[in-house]
């Protein structure tokens, strides 16, 4: 079904008389109520009075002789392209930026991590590959570094320890023996 000039004029007339979209669709035939509503909005007819005054007596305007027009060209959808994000491997040095009023992300306290493990992690993070999420594999360390809400977020990316998701240094922080954790809490 196409919207010919006659069908559009019938739609405008019936809409101006206060007919419902269902009634208009039934009168036009071959068109749904939703199609009528869509056309009404595209024509800018959607602001009609809800009272009976609008349906009482619409003004009759003399119609000029209509020349046969070529069917309107279908509207082309607007194509938008977004620039691809740059690869995460070329990230600048790590910065911790917390917006005002935001709570700090949970971080292990110095009491929970042994000083040796902390020193090892600091050294490893200087050598880290600093890869993005899409670059992770089963062979790369998945230890997150930084705040995921910022552009300075990255993953370690060094080779993993056998059977673990992290490199040797990050395994030392993530997987600690139960007794060592219990002793530090006391």
Q: Concatenated DSSP letters for 90-124? A: G--S------TTPPPPP---TTTS-HHHHHHHHHH
Helix (H) or strand (E) holding 43: helix 33-43
- Residue 167 inside a domain? The answer is yes
Q: Is the pLDDT of residue 165 over 80?
A: yes
- Residue 16 inside a domain? The answer is yes
- Residue 86 inside a domain? The answer is no
The mean pLDDT of 138-163, rounded to a whole number, is 90
Which 3 state secondary structure label does DSSP give 159?
Answer: strand
Look over the chain and give the mean of its residue pLDDT values, rounded to a whole number: 75
- Residue 96 inside a domain? The answer is no
Lowest mean pLDDT among 22-26, 73-77, 158-162, 182-186: 182-186
How many whole angstroms separate alpha carbon 46 and alpha carbon 38?
Answer: 10
Radius of gyration of the chain (CA): 34
- Residue 87 inside a domain? The answer is no
User: What range defines the domain where residue 22 resides?
Assistant: 5-56
Say what the pLDDT of residue 53 is.
46
CB contact at 8 A, 159 and 167:
yes
Query: Domains in the chain: how many in total?
Result: 2
- Residue 85 inside a domain? The answer is no
Bridge partners of 145? 154
Say what the pLDDT of residue 70 is.
65
| Residue 111 and residue 51 share a domain | no
Q: Is the pLDDT of residue 106 over 80?
A: no
How many whole angstroms separate alpha carbon 124 and alpha carbon 129?
Answer: 10
| Residue 114 and residue 45 share a domain | no
Say what the pLDDT of residue 44 is.
86
The mean pLDDT of 122-132, rounded to a whole number, is 84
- Residue 65 inside a domain? The answer is no
């Amino acid at each position: 079904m196409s919207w010919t000039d006659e069908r559009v004029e019938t739609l405008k007339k019936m809409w101006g008389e206060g007919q419902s979209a269902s009634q208009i669709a039934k009168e036009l035939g071959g068109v749904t109520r939703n199609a009528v509503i869509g056309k009404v909005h595209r024509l800018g007819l959607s602001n009609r009075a809800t009272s009976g005054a609008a349906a009482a007596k619409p003004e009759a305007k003399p119609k000029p002789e209509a020349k046969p027009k070529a069917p309107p060209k279908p509207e082309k959808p607007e194509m938008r392209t977004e620039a691809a994000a740059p690869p995460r491997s070329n990230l600048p040095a790590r910065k911790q930026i917390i917006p005002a009023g935001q709570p700090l992300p949970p971080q292990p306290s110095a009491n929970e991590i042994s000083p040796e493990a902390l020193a090892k992690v600091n050294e490893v993070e200087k050598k880290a590959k600093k890869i993005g999420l899409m670059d992770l594999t089963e062979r790369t360390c998945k230890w997150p570094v930084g705040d995921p809400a910022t552009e300075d977020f990255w993953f370690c990316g060094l080779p993993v320890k056998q059977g673990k998701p992290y490199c040797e240094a990050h395994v030392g922080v993530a997987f600690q023996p139960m007794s060592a954790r219990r002793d530090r809490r006391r």
